Amino acid sequence: MVRADAPGKIILFGEHAVVHGQPAIAAPLHAVRATAIAAPAPHASGLTVYAPDLDLTRRLESLDDSPDDPLHNALLFPLQVALRYLEQPIPDLTLTVRSTIPIASGLGSGAALATALVRALCAALDRALPNDELNPLIFQVEQRHHGTPSGIDNTVIVYEQPVYFVRGTPPQPFAIARPFTLLVADTGHGSPTHTTVGDVGRLYAAEPARIGAIFSEIGGITQQARRLIEAGKVAALGPLMDRNHDLLRQLTVSSGALDRLCAAARAAGALGAKLSGGGRGGNIIALVDEERAGSVADALLAAGAANVIRTAVRPPG
Ligand code: PMV
């Protein structure tokens, strides 16, 4: 039996603008993870994926058929992509998957599940797959989920380290001079990333000058944030998060619930707050001093957060 896992992720700066060529910064969310366990199955029984939390069993019938349904895309498509890449037939194997990453809330559950499944498959087949080869495979899975993803989710999840990311270029790891604490607060509403990405694309096509200027400002904020993180000046990230959130509102991807949670966090003493991910649902992140983390988390719950996760952004290892 072999076991593999992958973390969730949060986007710190630059979502949406990253789809249009600007940089973004993302970090792994270690507190929530997807796990896959591979166990040998009887001869000629094929490959079965079992998701006990969903009470669901799916069998991989072929390497070619690819029905475009969400469960196939989440559980079987990653295995098809990997087996085709490895030029392997369908093995006799049972893969059991579990995840503590909330689904469809911008925390990377799809990419993490795919990463854990493919890693467990490779381990069971005794085929080492370096991250540089795994990452493009998980990007293919993301394309099934989202249409035109930037690639930031799969990159931060596969490498499990904070990255500065520009679409179409290799991920740039960067120094984190001082770890810092974030609260991740869930609105409890799903986040339809492909819809918000499509809407922002249409807005850009309709008003290229105004929206292009917003993308550029978000890109500038992201570059500034990288320099501050590298210099250990983390408190100065707060105002940048607030401004990034404002700009995301102008891109129409915030919501009443996201704005309320950001306001509640700031009022309770957070240094800054913004939505994280596709928007119109999903999560906000709030930057907090260690000693304020508890009271800001309480304020977020009182303001209607369905769940609050505390995480540290820190150097890998
Ligand atoms: O998967 P989410 O909801 O965290 O959103 C990803 C961030 C976007 O920039 C909105 C889309 C993308 O592909 O980069």
pLDDT of residue 114: 97
Q: What is the residue-level pLDDT of the chain in tens, covering all 317 positions?
A: 999 999 999 999 999 999 999 999 999 999 999 999 999 999 999 999 999 998 999 999 899 877 778 888 899 999 999 999 999 999 999 999 999 998 878 899 999 999 999 999 999 999 989 999 999 999 999 998 777 788 999 999 999 999 999 999 988 888 999 999 999 999 999 877 889 999 999 999 999 999 999 999 999 999 999 999 999 999 999 999 999 999 999 999 999 999 999 999 999 999 999 999 999 999 999 999 999 999 999 999 999 999 999 999 998 87
156 shares a domain with 204:
no
Domain count, the chain: 2
195 shares a domain with 141:
no
Q: Which two tokens stand for residue 172?
A: 């740039």
Q: Nearest residue CA, atom 14 of ligand 1? A: 150
Is 260 among the domain residues? yes
Domain range enclosing 10:
2-165
CA of 277 to the centre of ligand 1 (A): 5
pLDDT of residue 277: 94
Is 289 among the domain residues? yes
Which of 144, 165, 186 terminates a domain? The answer is: 165
pLDDT of residue 205: 98
Is 31 among the domain residues? yes
CA of 43 to the centre of ligand 1 (A): 41
CATH code of the domain in which 82 resides? 3.30.230.10
210 shares a domain with 108:
no
132 shares a domain with 48:
yes
Is 132 among the domain residues? yes
Is 243 among the domain residues? yes
Which of 106, 134, 165 terminates a domain? The answer is: 165
298 shares a domain with 185:
yes
CATH code of the domain in which 283 resides? 3.30.70.890
pLDDT of residue 215: 98
Give CA–CA dist 273/35, Å, rounded: 30
73 shares a domain with 140:
yes
The dihedral formed by the CA atoms of 191, 195, 199 and 202, expressed in degrees to the nearest 10: 150
Is 125 among the domain residues? yes
Is 293 among the domain residues? yes
pLDDT of residue 297: 98
CA of 95 to the centre of ligand 1 (A): 28
pLDDT of residue 105: 83
13, 25, 139, 193: which to mutate for ligand 1, most atoms within 8 A of CB? 193
pLDDT of residue 158: 97
Is 109 among the domain residues? yes
198 shares a domain with 258:
yes
Which of 125, 142, 165 terminates a domain? The answer is: 165
225 shares a domain with 155:
no
- Measured CA distances, 17 to 7, 47, 198 (Å): 24, 39, 13
Give CA–CA dist 309/274, Å, rounded: 15
In the block, which residue shows the tokens 């969310």?
Answer: 29
Give CA–CA dist 221/308, Å, rounded: 26
Ligand 1 atom closest to the CA of 193, numbered from 1: 3
182 shares a domain with 154:
no
Beta carbon of 106 within 6 Å of any ligand 1 atom: yes
In this prediction the pTM is 0.92
CA of 17 to the centre of ligand 1 (A): 10
Partnered with residue 47 across adjacent β-strands are 60, 93
74 shares a domain with 10:
yes
